[in-house]
Chain A
Amino acid sequence: MINVTKFPYEPGDHEAEKASNSYLMSLIALIVGLPLPIVNLIATLMFYLGNRKGTYFVRWHCIQALLSQFSMLLINSYGFWWTMIMIFGSETLSSKYISYIIVVLIFNLTEFIATIYTAIQTRKGLHVEWWFYGTLTNVICKSGA
């Protein structure tokens, strides 16, 4: 699921720090933003916008972090509003809701662990590509831009 591969060039220490920060940004926002799932997406997006003219390595990792946050936003938002309707609306607690929350927790935990791991590896200057997100980032982010 996670591949440590060779980047087209050797990133400098400053680049590695910035790229690693893009992941840390989503982690910090996750803690601050709970239970509102959109906060970490906004934080990652802002970090990306601030670095969109940065080097290829920094841009690449900012996009990977942003993409992963976007899909988490979808599943988390659904869970968040379901919970709100249950607390304040007509919905009652059901097995389906519990199943959904467990799946959300599994996916969030996986993403959380992957983010920490990637932040550490990227700080060392290593290039970490995630399953799907890495492939998609390769399509979106081009070195010559």
Chain B
Amino acid sequence: MKNAVVQGIVIVVLFFSTLLVLNQIDWMTVFNVKKATEKTEEKLGELFWEISKKTEREINNQTVTNSIDSIVTRICKANEIERNNIKIHILYKTETNAFALPSGHLIIYSGLILAADNHAELSGVITHEIAHIELHHVMEKLIKEIGLSVLVSMTTGNSGGEIIMETVKMLSSSAFDRSLETAADIQAVEYLIKANIDPEPFANFLYKLADEESESMKYLSWISTHPDSKERAEYIIEYCRDKNIKSHPVITQETWDKLKESLQE
């Protein structure tokens, strides 16, 4: 019996030591898995954006696109985020919503811009979505909700248009996990501070929407997909308390007014 136990232990040790040795190798690089994943994400992003583009009208007004671009560029530059990886699309829609698609596509509805009182509030929401992109939350959510097999079948054209439509709908109208939302909020605040944008207006925007939440929930999609706004606003304020925040406006008040005017037209 003693022999059997010793030999059994040797086999178990052999198993785990082989595993330990193999774990030292970065198989993802060896098999080019990262590249393949990135390609899948890229294809999904383009596919989802094509679908969104078909159903809504894109805003190409220079005042609007340039202003949003200035905000995004400031955030990216200050945080060493590759600017070209964030693809901004502004769509005409009354909903107060913004959401991220795979491969860095960020959709902003005109309703969200109009709901913001100043550019810092809008910057907060945009930064929150950029944080979701940078922290790879979009793919994580998609894999969790839909499964890798369905996602891959979408990219190979084996999935119906309806499934793709439903997936885009899910991305635009459902929340991430609470932990992911918190992580994105904290990351967004970090990004804002580094970009010299005061995060307080972002918290104020959440407070404001939380107050309006009860009566106009159905119109305020960003709030319905991001619950507990009051609580979030509070921890953002708390998180910023000891930080040294310098604030330099990204765009002038005049440009902001012009931007809103162009959207109202």
Residue ranges of A at the interface with B (Cβ–Cβ < 8 Å):
71, 75, 86-90, 92-96, 98-100, 102-103, 106-107, 131-132, 135-136, 138-139
Contact = CB atoms under 8 A, between A and B. Distances in A.
B4 A139 contact: yes
B156 to A, nearest CB: 15
A89 B28 contact: no
Interface of A is mostly: helix
Given A87-B149, A103-B18, A132-B10, A95 B37 contact: no
B126 to A, nearest CB: 27
Interface of B: 1, 3-4, 7-8, 10-11, 15, 18-19, 22-23, 25-28, 31, 33, 37, 140, 143-144, 147-149
A136 B25 CA distance: 35
Given A107-B15, A136-B7, A138-B4, 11 more contacts: A87-B149, A88-B148, A88-B149, A89-B147, A92-B148, A93-B28, A93-B37, A95-B27, A98-B31, A103-B15, A132-B10
Given A87-B149, A103-B18, A136-B4, A95 B23 contact: yes
Contacts, number: 60
Contacts of B140: 90, 92
Contacts of A106: 18
Nearest to B36: A93
13 contacts: A89-B147, A90-B140, A92-B148, A99-B19, A99-B23, A103-B15, A103-B19, A103-B22, A107-B15, A131-B11, A132-B4, A132-B7, A132-B10
